[in-house]
Amino acid sequence: MANLGLGVNETEGLFEPGIARAPGPYLKRMWDLRHFMMTEARGKLASGHSELLLGRGWLVLEPLLYVSVYFVLFGLALRTGRDLENIDFLSYLVVGKITFQFLSRGVLNSAGALRGSPKGALDFPRATLPLGYVLRSALAYRVEVFVMFAMVMLRGATPIAHWLFAVPLFLLMFAFAFGSGLCLSPVIRRFPDIHPAMSHVMRLAFYSSGIIFPVEVILLDADNGLSWLRLYTLVNPFFAFVKVQQAIAFDYEPVPLEYALLSVVTWSIGTLVFGFLWFVRDESA
């Protein structure tokens, strides 16, 4: 320290301004902002529809519309669901699409949360930025999940107690989306060009996760041996999340449930824990 004319112990109790640099205090700063984040996510979600005549009705309409389009194209015209035995294709599609939608929206938006944000210390914990996007996505999902179960019921399923497992699965999905955002957003701040490319990776994931046609029937056929495509499908987190949700909604188990659960838990806890430590380290570097 330069000679500032300070007495001994005079700097006691002083600290560096800005964000906390250790994971614990950092987490506390985020917790203190929980009401802010919730209110903001709610406000932003609502304001996204504020100038539309149907307002929040679009939260219900939107999933209905995109599912209808896919159903006409793939279900009726291309009949991609013909390999699904005894499984209603519309239910299969609705559950897959709505589950994937929440994940991809959460991952993509939160990964881009730091784009254009300056490097260096700030006076608020920046992990709240990706979290805000995932929260907003989750608030929309809250409505979409009702649409999802309503559609499954319309197709003849009766409500069963284990639909409640959709709640813990939602928490895992949330952790995975936020964790991915924490892992990717510091990288994307440095190399922003990754972000526009990522939406194409998401599209690949969408077509290869058993949503509009059952990749599992073709790829997981044991006779095919261990091909790269088979390995990719087994590792693909989106595939695992979609299959667990389908198992919850209408008892569909193309892969052993234990395997899918293991994958889902590993991906969500892994990305969240690693992502948080990595993000905080990057913030204070």
Partner 1 sequence: MNINEPNRIVPDRTSPVALVVDDVHVHFDVYLAASGARGIKSLVTGQRTRATVKALSGVSFVLRQGDSLGILGHNGSGKSTLLGAIAGQIACTSGRVLVRSQPKMLSGASVAMNTRLSGRDNITLGLLSIGMKPEEVAAKELEVVEYTELGDFIDMPVTTYSSGMKSRLLFAIKTHQTPDILLLDEALSVGDKTFKQKSLERVNGIRESAGAVVMATHQPAEIRESCNYAMWLKDGRVMLFGDPEEVIEEYESADGSRRDTVERRTKQHGTHERRRNQR
Of the residues 22, 23, 25, 36, which one makes contact with partner 1 according to CB under 8 A:
36
Tokens found for residue 66: 């995109």
Q: How far is CA 70 from CA 26, 79, 134, 209, 254, in A?
A: 43, 11, 25, 15, 22
Provide the token pair at 4: 């500032």
Q: Kindly identify the residues of this chain, within the stretch 46-75, that bind partner 1 according to CB under 8 A.
A: 47-48, 50
236 token code pair:
């693909």
Part of the chain binding partner 1 (CB under 8 A), chosen from 5-13, 65-73, 138-146, 274-282: 5-13
139 versus 157: smaller Cβ distance to partner 1: 139
Q: Is 14 in the site for partner 1 (CB under 8 A)?
A: yes
Q: How far is the CB of 72 from partner 1 (least distance, A)?
A: 34
Please, which residue, 47 or 158, has the CB nearer to partner 1?
Answer: 47
Q: What contacts 1, CB < 8 A, 6 or more positions away? A: none
CA 81 to chain centre: 26
Neighbours of 93 (CB within 10 A): 23
DSSP-based three-state secondary structure for 5: coil
**Closer CB to partner 1, 45 or 240, in the complex:** 45
SS3 165: helix
> What is the smallest separation between the CB atom of 279 and partner 1, expressed in angstroms?
16
- Binding residue for partner 1, selected from 10, 83, 251, 253, defined by CB under 8 A: 10
| Closer residue to partner 1 in complex, CB, 38/160 | 38
Q: Candidates 16-24, 169-177, 238-246, 269-277 — which segment interacts with partner 1 by CB under 8 A? A: 16-24
Which residues, other chains included, contact 215 with Cβ-Cβ below 8 Å and sequence gap of 6+? 208, 209, 233, 239
Among 27, 44, 64, 278, binds partner 1 (CB under 8 A): 44
Window 94-153: residues binding partner 1 (CB under 8 A): 119-124
| Among positions 8, 15, 86, 228, the unique one binding partner 1 when judged by CB under 8 A | 15
State how far the Cα of 233 lies from the Cα of 219, in Å rounded to an integer: 8
Name residue, tokens 């991906």.
Answer: 267
Q: Applying CB under 8 A, which of residues 23, 25, 43, 196 lies at the interface with partner 1?
A: 43
The two structure tokens encoding residue 10: 């005079």
Among 22, 23, 25, 39, contact with partner 1 (rule: CB under 8 A): 39
Distance of alpha carbon 68 from alpha carbon 75, whole angstroms? 10
Q: Does 24 bind partner 1 (CB under 8 A)?
A: no
| Cα 37 to Cα 127: distance, rounded to the nearest angstrom | 11
| Footprint on this chain of partner 1 (rule: CB under 8 A) | 1-6, 10-11, 13-19, 32-33, 35-36, 39-40, 43-44, 47-48, 50, 119-124
